[in-house]
Structures are given as structure tokens and as C-alpha cells.
Amino acid sequence: MNKEEKVAYLKGKAIEMRKTALTMIHTAQSGHPGGSLSAADYMTALYFSELNIKAEEPKWPDRDRFVLSKGHVCPILYSALALKEYFPYETIYTLRKEGSILQGHPDMKVCPGVDISTGSLGQGLSTAVGMAIAAKRDKKDYRVFCVVGDGESQEGQIWEAVMSAVKYKLDNLVIFVDNNNLQNDNTCDVVMPTGDLRKKFDAFGCEAYGIDGHKMEEIVDVLDEIRTKKNGIPKVIVGKTVKGRGVSFMENVVMWHGVAPDKEQFAQAISEVEGGLK
């Protein structure tokens, strides 16, 4: 597959990813659509092109690890796992239901493909650091990918984890920052400005890249660039994103952080998503 074909393929998958996430949140009438949609494009690129994983062997020891530090956007992770056939697709209709493997926040004990349970913000990156240290010590080639939110970066532990990633020269760690500038109560700028995150990660000793987190070409390019860069420096991709991206009435609207669409909203959202990103 050449780059053009790959990008076209991933754009198609991103539509399926968005539809699946919205469907499960609508069915559950609970969940977090805004951040699921802002993370949709690079999650698609990771799961359908980058991660070295085997759905038929979720615990394959040499697999790449994925840590969703902003655990509340798990519908987009569950979408990837459903589409990759880690579990039957129909499972998506059980999100947040009693006994479901699709808990409100990821539970590694019950959901195949979830490498660590997350949900309390600021903690996932530390676990990713632990995994990346284990890979280095065991002389294994697998990489660890971790998605953190910009609002989540207000947690001090994120910076503790970054310091340790730099100290232990974790060039097998890739941190995605979903830089959508919205959080639960308001915009990040109002609640607690996170400033220029790319500069901050750079200042901590990481190699940070800034991209448009919805341009599949840019996502593919940056992943290509860092894949073979074994220079002892952790990589950070700060993706400028739009919360609710792909659904006009959700885009950049704080309310859609954690509210499920009703029947009419859901129908409109699906029809808009089917058209792909404009």
C-alpha cells in the first residue's frame, strides 16, 4: 500500500471508528463523545496501521502496548478493539451495562486488548513508562503508545512520569497529547491554562512534534518519522484536535464532554460522520 492508499484506507476506518463510538454511547445513553471524537483519527492510525498487535493473541508478550491515560474516552478504544475483532462487534451494545467487558472506563481484567486499567487521570503515563522500562530491560523491541489529554496534563503526575521517561531514555515510548483545549468544566484556557504543551514536553527533554490531529496525512507522516528514531529520547506528538470532531453540533462545545446524544442527535451525527471529515 502506498501512502495515498494508506491514508484513504485509514480515513475510511476513521468513519467506522466514529460511528461505532457514537453508537455505543447512544445505546448506553452514557459516555464521553467529545474526547472520543477528537482522538478518533490518531487512534485509527495506531490501531489500523501502526501497532504491532495480534487480536487473536491479546496478551502476546512482544506486542506493542497501548495505554489510554484519558480513560474516559474508551468508546474510541473499544471501537478499535471491536473492529479489530478482539471481541464480537455486537459487544459494543453492552457499554456501561452490568457485567459488560466494556466498563465505563477500561478494565484490563475483563476486556481483551486493554493493557492497563485506567480512568483516574494523570496515572496512565506512569504505567506506560513502567512498560517501556520493562521492554528496555528485557531487550525487547516492542513500543509503548500512550494517549493523554491536555486537560489531563494539569495532573502533576504527568510531569513526574515525563521526567522518568527522559531519565530512562525511553525512545520506545510515544506519547500522544490530544490537544483539544476543552475539559469537563470549560476550556483548558479558562479552567487551568496548559500553555504550549509542545514546548513544555521539549523542555522536559522529550522530542515533541506538533501536528493537526485530524489530518491523516500528517499523522501517518509523523508516525513514519519517529518509528525508527532510536536516539534515546521519548517522543511526544501534540495533536491539535477539536473536541467532538466530525459532528457539527458537538464540535468545540464543552457540554459534549460527557453527554450521550438522543435519537435525533444520534441520527444527525451518524449521517454527518458517514460523509467523512471535511
Contact residues toward other proteins (CB under 8 A) are 61, 65, 67, 107-109, 115-120, 122-135, 137-138, 156-157, 160-161, 163-164, 167-168
Which cell numbers hold the place of 33? 463523545
Q: DSSP for 92-148, please give it.
A: GGGTTSTT-SS-SS--TTTSTT--S---STT-HHHHHHHHHHHHHHTT----EEEEE
Shortest separation between residue 36's beta carbon and other proteins, angstroms: 21
Q: Write down the least CB distance from residue 111 to other proteins, Å.
A: 11
Find the shortest distance in angstroms from Cβ 137 to other proteins. 6
Cell of 179: 490537544
Kindly state the smallest distance separating residue 102's Cβ from other proteins, in Å. Answer: 16
Residue with cell 504543551: 197
- Write down the least CB distance from residue 123 to other proteins, Å: 5
Q: Rounded to the nearest 5°, which phi and psi values hold at 165?
A: -65, -40
Residue closer to other proteins by CB (options 163, 190) is: 163
The residue among 130 and 205 lying less far from other proteins, judged by its C-beta, is: 130
Facing residues of 201 across strands?
A: none
DSSP 27-42: HHT-S-HHHHHHTHHH
* Shortest distance (Å) from residue 168 CB to other proteins: 7
Residue closer to other proteins, measured from CB, 123 or 241: 123
User: Distance from CA of residue 152 to its chain's centroid?
Assistant: 13
Distance between CA 49 and CA 39 in Å, rounded?
16
| C-beta closer to other proteins: residue 9 or 159 | 159
- CB closer to other proteins, 38 vs 117: 117
Q: In this complex, which beta carbon is closest to other proteins, that of residue 161 or of residue 216?
A: 161
Tell me if residue 44 falls in helix, strand or coil.
helix
Whole-angstrom distance, CA of residue 151 vs CA of residue 171: 24
